[in-house]
Structure 1
Amino acid sequence: MKLGARAFKTGLATAIALYVASAFGFKAGVFAAAIAAVSSIQPSIYRSIQTIIEQVQANVIGATLAIFLVLTVGNEPFLIGFGIIIVIGMCMLFKMKEDTTFIAIIAVIAIMEAPQDPFLEYAGIRFTSILIGIVSAFVVNLAFLPPKYETRLFERLTNTTNDILQWIRVTTRHLSDQPALKKEIERLNEDITRLDQTYLLFSEERIYSRRKGYRRARKLVLFRQLIHTTKKAFNVLQNLHRLDYEIEHFNKDINAQIIVEVDKTLHTHEKLILMYSGRIRKQETYPVDQLSKPKIPDLVNQLMNEYDDKERDRMKFLPLASNLMEYHNELVHLRKLLTSYLNSQ
């Protein structure tokens, strides 16, 4: 089990919220402060700033509704449930996120279950306690700088891509264990999802220098294309896995050509990633255009012509042919973007 920075920040924010609420003598609102702190931790500074505004608004909405209901109709359990339904609807109307809606729900429950006398005093304490929890989480988010998402993104991208390319090599040679490959495909699919999430966090980082902002915008475009190309490679792996038995029974010449051309494609992909990371020595001109150019279109034609007289079998290989062409085209586009990016450095 690995505990990350978010677990540490959550615990610290909760402790701070409890100490501050106790210091103000808000015994009735300590629990609400702790829950608010737990639900307010965010992975980036941008999200922290965005979240604190929304959560303060949600707290105001929830508290206002709760006070109105208690003063007009009471605080019976079914009325608390009714209040929660209304506040969820209001948050949906304002297009608030789930964690923001949760703050509004906490405010409704914390205030409506408060003793009747003196009600407004208790309501004020609990409203303020929730604010303490929100602010405590915000301070912790600012105090502990988020990780370098660019570094994390590139590491995940490299590891995921390498795993996919290795499995493609094994599968084209019909050496893969099918049950093991099936599990790996499921794991790789989860890795790609995490890759998208990390890219989103990286894209949310703010740069206030115009020059750095322009350079970073180009880097975002390049990373998006790197991820997109990796997804196309994953699609090829999925189809190779599905058609492994049929491809194994092709004639030897086509099997040999599949291995040669796919290996060229994988080599191109690997070399492009190495070029971006700076592991390939700089020359007068970057050797992007000197990479081997796989003849994927010719390979696709051969695949489709293998069953030219059998339309049903021919259609079976259409997804693989399409994936190979898409992968090839994305690599060509990545090559152009990388050439432009490296020449601008």
Structure 2
Amino acid sequence: MKLGARMMKTGLAVAVALYISDLLPFVSPLLAAIAAVFSIQPSIYRSYQSIIEQIQGNTIGALIAVVAVFTLGNDPFIAAFAIIVVIGITTNLKMNENTISLAVVAVIALMDTTDLTFIHFASARFSSMLLGILAAFVVNLVFVPPKYETRLFRKIDVSTTDILQWLRVTTRQLSDQPALKYEITRIQDDLRWIDHTYLLYEEERTYFKGSRFSKGRKLVLFRQLITTTKKSFDVVKAFYRLEHKIEQIPDEFQDALVGELDKLINAHEKLVLSLKGRIKQTHKQSLRQIEEPDIPLLVDRLMHVYEETNNPDKLVFLPLASQLMEYYYQLEKLKRLLKSYQTHHKEDYIKT
């Protein structure tokens, strides 16, 4: 079992809420712990949004519970009616599910039968909920702040490496089909995780002007890096679908296809290494000249080969040609963005 930061934060928030509850005799430890569990969020910005929304939702739930008790009593059917009203209001206000659930808990807690004065009882229960919300916010703010830039780039780096390895193997018709089919599904899941993490990284706020400009350029760079990785994955899937038809391509063109794709893969790897700060921006001539890929010429040759034949299956290679062109253009765009970023932020590498 893998313990993530959010699991530990949830446990710590509950512990903090329970500990403070023991110091305050009028606070309910159970309600404070429940509120802490519902209030933990994956990012500091979302935690800030959550605390505002949770307080609003609990206030709505508390007000409706108080009005219901003073006007109608605390009969179970009246409590059910109050819960329906709270759900309706919070849903119309487009609050998230955790906020709605906690507001419902507030109604149930406040409409419970008690021998105490209702106002004193309601105040103690409401304070317990607020204590749990605040405990979760403080823990989320202080304990292991999420480093989404590092996590995002690491996952992109690993996924890109896997994709490019499969692209090398697939273009040489050496890939094991069942293994590649499984890897395609796994990589698709990884790309969904990358999209989700990018949104969390985008939500993180910066408070200094210089950092704000750097963060904005990094967001653009990351978005293009993700797009380029997805395009390389599309090429792998295109080769996977054409596995049994590749032999229809003339041998001479197959050699050219493998050669140009190797150049494309090398260019992609070079850009990722440059993002890590492992390649000099100005360097001497290497021992072996690194040639730039010429995919437009390759695609033009592919179209020319099949225009001269009467092969009815020639159109199945059009998606491959399209994916190759898209991959090439996105890679060129990534190269321009990286050059621009490194011009303005020479010492600010991606955190790895």
Q: Do these two structures clear the TM 0.5 threshold for a shared fold by scoring above it?
A: yes
Does residue 341 of the first structure (1) align with residue 346 of the second (2)? no
Query: Residues 286 and 222 from structure 1, CA distance in 2 versus in 1: closer, same or farther, beyond 3 angstroms?
Result: farther
- Cα separation, 1, equivalents of 2:50 and 2:270: 41
Computed over aligned residues only, the root mean square deviation of the Cα atoms, in angstroms, reads 2.5
Which stretches in structure 1 are left out of the alignment for 5+ residues? none
CA contact (8 A) 1:84 1:108 kept: yes
Shift of 1:319: 2.5
CA contact (8 A) 1:164 1:234 kept: yes
- Cα separation, 2, equivalents of 1:197 and 1:285: 40
Deviations 1:281-320, CA, capped at 9 Å, x for gaps: 3426999xx9632221233234445554669634433322
CA contact (8 A) 1:58 1:101 kept: yes
Query: Residues 297 and 23 from structure 1, CA distance in 2 versus in 1: closer, same or farther, beyond 3 angstroms?
Result: same
CA contact (8 A) 1:43 1:146 kept: no
- Cα separation, 1, equivalents of 2:251 and 2:15: 67
Structure 2 counterpart of 1:318: 318
Query: Residues 305 and 15 from structure 1, CA distance in 2 versus in 1: closer, same or farther, beyond 3 angstroms?
Result: same
Shift of 1:70: 3.1
CA contact (8 A) 2:12 2:139 kept: yes
Does residue 204 of the first structure (1) align with residue 203 of the second (2)? yes
- Cα separation, 2, equivalents of 1:200 and 1:285: 39
Structure 2 counterpart of 1:227: 226
- Cα separation, 2, equivalents of 1:104 and 1:286: 66
Shift of 1:162: 0.4
CA contact (8 A) 1:114 1:123 kept: no
Question: For residue 334 of structure 1, what is the amino acid of its counterpart?
Answer: L
Structure 1 counterpart of 2:349: none
- Cα separation, 1, equivalents of 2:266 and 2:281: 19
- Cα separation, 1, equivalents of 2:318 and 2:113: 66
Query: Residues 166 and 124 from structure 1, CA distance in 2 versus in 1: closer, same or farther, beyond 3 angstroms?
Result: same
More deviation, 109-118/259-268: 109-118
More deviation, 43-52/166-175: 43-52
Shift of 1:87: 2.2
CA contact (8 A) 1:114 1:122 kept: no
Structure 1 counterpart of 2:4: 4
Structure 2 counterpart of 1:72: 71
- Cα separation, 2, equivalents of 1:50 and 1:214: 23
Query: Residues 129 and 169 from structure 1, CA distance in 2 versus in 1: closer, same or farther, beyond 3 angstroms?
Result: same
- Cα separation, 2, equivalents of 1:78 and 1:306: 77
Query: Residues 284 and 173 from structure 1, CA distance in 2 versus in 1: closer, same or farther, beyond 3 angstroms?
Result: closer
- Cα separation, 2, equivalents of 1:97 and 1:273: 37
More deviation, 225-234/102-111: 102-111
Question: For residue 32 of structure 2, what is the amino acid of its counterpart?
Answer: A
- Cα separation, 1, equivalents of 2:311 and 2:106: 64
Which stretches in structure 2 are left out of the alignment for 5+ residues? 347-352
- Cα separation, 2, equivalents of 1:228 and 1:216: 18
- The number of residue pairs the alignment matches comes to 342
- Cα separation, 2, equivalents of 1:161 and 1:283: 25
SS at match of 2:206: coil
Structure 2 counterpart of 1:239: 238
CA contact (8 A) 2:41 2:47 kept: yes
Does residue 301 of the first structure (1) align with residue 311 of the second (2)? no
Does residue 266 of the first structure (1) align with residue 268 of the second (2)? no
Query: Residues 274 and 157 from structure 1, CA distance in 2 versus in 1: closer, same or farther, beyond 3 angstroms?
Result: same
CA contact (8 A) 1:174 1:248 kept: no
Deviations 1:44-85, CA, capped at 9 Å, x for gaps: 222222211111111101111222233333444454444333
- Cα separation, 1, equivalents of 2:119 and 2:284: 73
- Cα separation, 1, equivalents of 2:302 and 2:129: 64
SS at match of 2:244: helix
CA contact (8 A) 1:42 1:48 kept: yes
CA contact (8 A) 2:168 2:262 kept: yes
Shift of 1:124: 2.1
Q: Map 1:178-189 onto structure 2 (within 5 A).
A: 178-189=177-188
Structure 1 counterpart of 2:118: 119
Structure 2 counterpart of 1:21: 21
Shift of 1:19: 2.1
Q: Map 1:72-151 onto structure 2 (within 5 A).
A: 72-115=71-114, 118-151=117-150
TM-score, normalised to structure 1, is 0.90
More deviation, 234-243/158-167: 234-243
- Cα separation, 1, equivalents of 2:282 and 2:36: 53
More deviation, 12-21/97-106: 97-106
Structure 2 counterpart of 1:160: 159
Deviations 1:14-61, CA, capped at 9 Å, x for gaps: 01112222332246x322211110111123222222211111111101
TM-score, normalised to structure 2, is 0.88
Structure 1 counterpart of 2:327: 327
Shift of 1:205: 2.5
CA contact (8 A) 1:87 1:104 kept: yes
SS at match of 1:85: helix
Shift of 1:169: 0.9
CA contact (8 A) 1:265 1:328 kept: yes
Shift of 1:327: 0.8
- Cα separation, 2, equivalents of 1:217 and 1:176: 40
SS at match of 1:174: coil
Query: Residues 291 and 119 from structure 1, CA distance in 2 versus in 1: closer, same or farther, beyond 3 angstroms?
Result: farther
CA contact (8 A) 2:17 2:135 kept: yes
CA contact (8 A) 1:45 1:145 kept: no
Question: For residue 229 of structure 2, what is the amino acid of its counterpart?
Answer: T
- Cα separation, 1, equivalents of 2:175 and 2:168: 9
SS at match of 1:159: helix
